[in-house]
Chain A
Amino acid sequence: MENQTMTAGDETVLYGYLAEFDKVDDLLVGAATVRDAGYTKWDAHTPFVIHGLDAAMGVKKTILPYVVFGAGLTGTTAGILLQWWTNAIDYPYLISGKPLFSLPANIPVAFETTILFAAISALVGMLALNGLPRLYHPLFRSRAFKRATDDHFFISIEADDPLFDADATRELLESISGRKVEEVEDVV
């Protein structure tokens, strides 16, 4: 606790344990171990994407692609409908003797709306699924954790994981990280 800010009167509860690594290999092994131990409410924190970590953690494949695909389809339909309704139905007018509605002329706009909808859904979907923005998080209370965006790797196990046991979990983590585990607390 010495490296955590404590303002007087702050009611705190244990959020979970935080184990620190400085080698990719150790992290991967550790992750696999935690996974095999059956923990569910835990996470690994790395400054960059580490290949194989998903497998090592057993992260499920995200549904994002389906979201984006749906949004894309919506975009296409919206694009076509917009052009058809405005130019051929609501206020039809004769332009250069051309037909009121002809797909070829509507492809560019429909295409762009497709991309637009899909792209926006990709970012927004990603953030939503990740529960971001979340400016405050108990982990940010740990000083060591600041290196998670720099050069160190972490594994955190939340206190409200069904398998969480103050001592057993600590041992597990210390065994894989080979160093002291930090207790992260949360204010209420």
Chain B
Amino acid sequence: MSTTHSDTRSYLDNTGDNPAVRARLVVGDNDFHAITEKVCGIVEMPKTPKMWWVAFAISSSLTLVLFAMIGYLITTGIGVWGLNVPVGWGYAIVNFVFWVGIGHAGTLISAILFLLRQRWRTSINRFAEAMTIFAVVCAGIFPGIHVGRIWFAYWLFPIPNQMLMWPNFRSPLLWDVFAVGTYATVSLLFWYMGMIPDLASIRDRATTRLRYYIYGFLSLGWRSSNRHWHRFEFAYLLLAALATPLVLSVHSVVSFDFAVSIMPGWHTTIFPPYFVAGAIFSGFAMVVTLIIPTRKLFHLEEIITKRHLENMAKIMLATGMMVGLAYSTEFFMAWYSGNQYEAFTFLNRAFGPYAWAYWIMVTCNVVVPQVFWFSKLRNNTLILWIASVLINVGMWFERFVIVVSSLSRDYLPSSWGYYRPTAIDVLTFVGSFGLFFTLFLLFIRFLPLIGMAEVKGVMPQAHLDRPGHKGHGDYHGDIAGAEVV
């Protein structure tokens, strides 16, 4: 099939943009079976690679650290964190927003790109969705543990009770409960549903009874019937259509936590778009951070091609610019509004006690992505990887700046303060990464990390290659007139 090559670049490189030729989404000589082999092969591996074990050992011990910290917190009190009055929210909320943000790329890739018919998504969407779920799991922990009386946290849910009390639906925190809850559920459904046919593939290749039963159970007896495929496609389309506004709403609602308050630096109308852009930004950064090593480790360069990486780099560039714009807009508004509190808050961000955090943020989020302007740099996997890691750092600091610097100095100078995280704060945060990677490693080892069925669907072989048919794929001819039963 290499005849469709438009130039002389190595056969693995499909980043060229020649309008005359449709760049291939899967490179190398792969037929359907080869794809199945590659992907299922990872799950069926007789022995796990060393690298995996090393990574798992580290991440799972970090997870233990997380649980230890939570235990200490619950038994001792929120005081083990560095919080105070005025800064009532610190790491916990920063981490929450950070993780929720990361959890955006997945659904975005699967849903929005799906609706936009961006077929290149197929190689990475499963992966990204998985990442979304795990990020949301990490995110979900923090609002849970940051309340003073965790054992009463269930009061946030509208459960009938002997007190005849209900939660207060005017509170953005309650909106959060619903938004994040819905998002987690929908992402999970989306992810699982997409996986059903691939689980069936693993089932059908099973060489041991246990594996057959496990994957057989998970794939719910999928028998790739076309009548099923029909409804499956529809359900998938609908979920995508639902997830798209959802993914936008989630970070908007998270931003309401701040925007609805009256704190200078929080109370601003640009937060929703600003947060969503940031979320996508950080989400893609995290996808890239994870996908580059994974694709090396399991030799998936032919399925997750350089073009995929490049596209993501471009998206990061775009969203990075949006974020940068948001930063400058905030400053403009602070000055233009003539509100002395607002003005001071931003002056204080850039030059006050927390200036260091602010400038880390700007460097990582605005300066670093500029390298993606250059094709050479963005196509250099190493540079791309380093940049995306830096962007993750920057996005964490963005949340830190928003949450902490605004609170530390608000209306009354008499109650200004300074927030210092404690070791517990830091370890809890690090621990959450442990949890994230633990889940992630389990995923790439035991579940199909690439949507085989979808990838096959976008391969040339999936379409009619009979001469004389226009378009590609769709079968015309003697079916045309036939009336439908």
Residues on A lying within 8 angstroms of B by beta carbon are 24-25, 28, 31-32, 35-36, 40, 43-60, 62, 64-65, 68, 72, 82-83, 86-87, 90-91, 95-96, 98, 105-106, 108-109, 111-113, 115-116, 118-120, 122-123, 125-127, 129-130, 132-137, 139-140, 145-151
Closest residue of chain A to B31, judged by CB? A151
The reply on B405 being an interface residue by CB < 8 A is no
> Once A and B bind, how many residue pairs between them come within 8 Å at the CB atom?
236
Given contact pairs A112-B249, A126-B232, A150-B33, A58 touches B485 in the complex (Cβ within 8 A):
yes
Contact A52 B189 (CB under 8 A): no
Closest residue of chain A to B185, judged by CB? A116
Complex Cα gap A61–B364 (Å): 50
A-B contact pairs, 10 of them (CB 8 A): A45-B223, A48-B32, A49-B229, A49-B232, A55-B475, A55-B479, A95-B168, A105-B170, A116-B186, A150-B201
Contact A52 B475 (CB under 8 A): yes
Residues on B lying within 8 angstroms of A by beta carbon are 31-33, 36, 158, 164-170, 174-175, 178-179, 181-182, 185-186, 189-190, 192-193, 197, 200-201, 203-205, 216-217, 220-235, 238-239, 242-243, 245-246, 249, 253, 256, 452-454, 456-457, 461-466, 473-476, 478-479, 482-485
Complex Cα gap A127–B222 (Å): 10
- From A51, A119, A126, B474 is in contact (CB under 8 Å) with A51
For B223, list chain A residues within 8 Å (CB).
45, 137, 139-140, 145, 148
Contact B224 A46 (CB under 8 A): yes
For A53, list chain B residues within 8 Å (CB).
226, 229, 475
Given contact pairs A46-B229, A62-B231, A140-B223, A32 touches B478 in the complex (Cβ within 8 A):
yes
Complex Cα gap A147–B192 (Å): 22
- From B165, B226, B482, A59 is in contact (CB under 8 Å) with B226
- From B185, B204, B454, B465, A120 is in contact (CB under 8 Å) with B185
- From B186, B204, B484, A60 is in contact (CB under 8 Å) with B484
- From B164, B200, B243, A149 is in contact (CB under 8 Å) with B200
Contact B226 A45 (CB under 8 A): yes
- Which 8 residue pairs are nearest across A and B when measured between Cβ atoms? A133-B220, A151-B32, A52-B475, A86-B166, A126-B235, A146-B204, A108-B175, A112-B178
Contact B230 A56 (CB under 8 A): no
Complex Cα gap A59–B227 (Å): 7
Chain A interface helix/strand/loop/mixed? helix
Contact A137 B221 (CB under 8 A): yes
Which one of B189, B192, B204 has the greatest number of beta carbons of chain A within 10 Å?
B204
Given contact pairs A146-B204, A151-B32, A116 touches B238 in the complex (Cβ within 8 A):
no
Complex Cα gap A95–B168 (Å): 9
Which one of A91, A108, A113, A146 has the greatest number of beta carbons of chain B within 10 Å?
A108
Complex Cα gap A139–B223 (Å): 8
Contact B182 A112 (CB under 8 A): yes
Contact B234 A149 (CB under 8 A): no
For A118, list chain B residues within 8 Å (CB).
238, 242
Complex Cα gap A59–B181 (Å): 36
For B245, list chain A residues within 8 Å (CB).
111, 115
Complex Cα gap A108–B306 (Å): 39
Contact A28 B205 (CB under 8 A): no
Contact A135 B221 (CB under 8 A): yes
Which one of B174, B227, B482 has the greatest number of beta carbons of chain A within 10 Å?
B227
Instruction: Give the Cβ gap from B248 to chain A, nearest Cβ, in Å.
Output: 11
For A137, list chain B residues within 8 Å (CB).
221, 223
Closest residue of chain A to B186, judged by CB? A119
Complex Cα gap A58–B485 (Å): 6
Contact B221 A151 (CB under 8 A): no
